[in-house]
Structures are given as structure tokens and as C-alpha cells.
Amino acid sequence: MYRSSHRLRGWIMGSLTLALVVPAFAQAQSSRPTVTTGGVAKVTPQSATLLGKVTPNGARTTYAFQYGTTTLYGAVTPPVVAGSGTGTKALNVIADLTGLAPATTYHYRLVAHNRNGTVKGVDRVFRTRRQPLGLTLAATPNPVPFRRPTVLAGTLSGTGNEKRQILLQSNPFPYTQGFQPAANVQLTNLQGQFAFPLLSVPLTTQYRVVVPGQTAVVSPIVTVGVAVRVATNTSRRRVRTGGIVRFFGTVRPARPGAQFAIQTLRRGSWRTVAGGITHGSRGGVSRYAKRVRIRRGGQYRVFVAIVDGNYVSAAGRTVRISRVF
């Protein structure tokens, strides 16, 4: 009986010793991860994919790529779990970078960590691609009143966009002349911006800007409409219900035969209450006149419709007619 008890006690002690030793032995079998900073793929002006290899070496391992424009890096990809494999086969790992600067050299390296320590891969470099040049253009105001100024402005984007020559070209209605230089060459500023002030646009005209010597770098075409200028006068501003108000004025440039409408504002929309045809072209202007019976007070205007393409339609100033009871 004593011997059986002694043997049982010895087996229990041996089992406890083995239970304590095996985890320590298993931990001793793991080691720091092995990393290899790989190459780079899918490089664009603003993005790239980093490649590498990680071997966990028996312990739960995470990895990430450090990157930046110097060996100080400064940015890191989100950590990813690589597992805890005990084999010697390396795992292929990747990380996608976005928001990079065009035509810029970047340093990067792969870093992995487990309970045994952190391992940093060798530093490698890549260079993002150049951003192709591109042009934008807009006119303010557009349409522009006849013989009034406007500004054509835009931006040259892409690598090397600062201090570049920009040429403004025009093609007036009916757009059969083709684009010709319309102003002196300008240089973009450090942000690639430019502006061409125009004191006057003679008639509706297409504009575009180009980079001299680079036929592929052309802006979209901007059509600047030239609106006729409508001068509005009235014989009175206060009238009894049913009274007559005479609307009269001029249209510049002269557009004889153009339709005009006397309109009043009702619930947010302009409604026509009378109309007629412009007459004459003396002194470069046409004239209009119309007697209108006023049923209710409110805001009124004269709208001139242009349909020939040289100019665009426009309205004169708004006048308020009050009823007298």
C-alpha cells in the first residue's frame, strides 16, 4: 500500500513538472519574425503597392510598412496579422499606398513584431510617376454684358505646372474662323494658376487655353455669351388700378426686329404681360416702347430675346410699380 501511494505521488509530481516545462519549451522554440522588404508595383502619380515577405517563426506576428520621403519615414500602414506559423515558408504581404505626391521619391521598409521582438527590413526606395499636365478654364462673369469686362481664369495641374507659358485662343461666332491667339502669353504662378482679363468681348466667342509647344495640353472650350444691354424706363411708378404705364428704352448693340416682353414677377416666376418688336439701329442702338395697363402692383422688367447666335438674351433692371387706391 505504501509503495502504491509513493508511486502515485511520483507520477503526479512528474506530470506537474512536464506541464510546466512543455509551455516553456514551446516558447523557446519560437523566435523573432523574419522580414524581407520587397519591391513595389502599380506605381501611379498618387499611389503604389508595396511588397514584402514575413515569416512568423512560431509566434503571433503583425506587420506594417513604414514610408516617407526620407529615412525618418513618418507614415505607417495599418498593422496586419501574419499568423503564428512554425514553418520556414515566408508569407507574401502587400500594402496599398494612396495620397502620394507625383514625381516624388519615397523610402519604405517592412517591419514585423511578435512577443520575441521587432524586426525591421532594409530600406528601399521608389519614385511616383509624373502627373500629366491638365488645364481648366472658366469665365467670370458669363454671360458678360455688351462692352463690359470679364476674366478668363484657370489652373494648369500636373508635375511642373509652375511658371509655365499659357496662351489664350479665341474663335468668335459662327465659330468658322478657327482658334487664334487672343492675348499675350502669360506664366502660371507657383500654384499653376493664371488669369486673362478681357476689357470687352465683341460678340459671343469660344475660348480655350493651350501650353505652347504641347498640342496635347488643351483646356475644355468655354463659350462666353455676350448679353445685350437693356435700358429700362417707365412713364410713372405709381398708378391707379387699370392705369397705363409706358415702358421704353434701348437695346445695345442694335438688334432691330428682336422680340421684347414686359414681364412681372408672380410667385417667384416672371410672367409676360405684354410685348413687341425693337426698332431702328441709329447710333448702334435699337429702341422699344410699350403701353401696359397695370392690374396689380409689383416688380416689372423688360426681357429681350436674341436668337441669332451673335449675342444672348438679357433683361433690363427691375422696376417696382405701385398701385394707388
Burial class (CB in 10 A: 0-12, 13-18, 19+), 7: exposed
Instruction: Say whether pLDDT at 131 is over 70.
Output: yes
* pLDDT (mean) for 209-237: 95
Per-residue pLDDT band at 85 (split at 50, 70, 90): confident
The answer to whether the Cα torsion of 171, 173, 175, 176 is positive or negative is negative
Residues in contact with 215: Cβ distance below 8 Å, sequence separation at least 6, in sequence order: none
For residue 122, the Cα-to-chain-centroid distance in whole angstroms is: 38
Write out pLDDT tens, residues 293-322.
998 899 999 999 999 999 999 999 999 999
Write out pLDDT tens, residues 176-220.
999 999 999 999 999 999 999 999 999 999 999 999 988 889 999
Write out pLDDT tens, residues 16-57.
343 334 344 445 588 999 999 999 999 999 999 999 999 999
* Nearest Cα residue to 94 out of 60, 56, 63: 63
Write out pLDDT tens, residues 112-125.
999 999 999 999 99
pLDDT at 156 (0 to 100)? 97
pLDDT at 28 (0 to 100)? 52
> Taking the model in full, what pTM does it have?
0.73
Residues in contact with 146: Cβ distance below 8 Å, sequence separation at least 6, in sequence order: 226, 227, 228, 229, 252, 253, 311
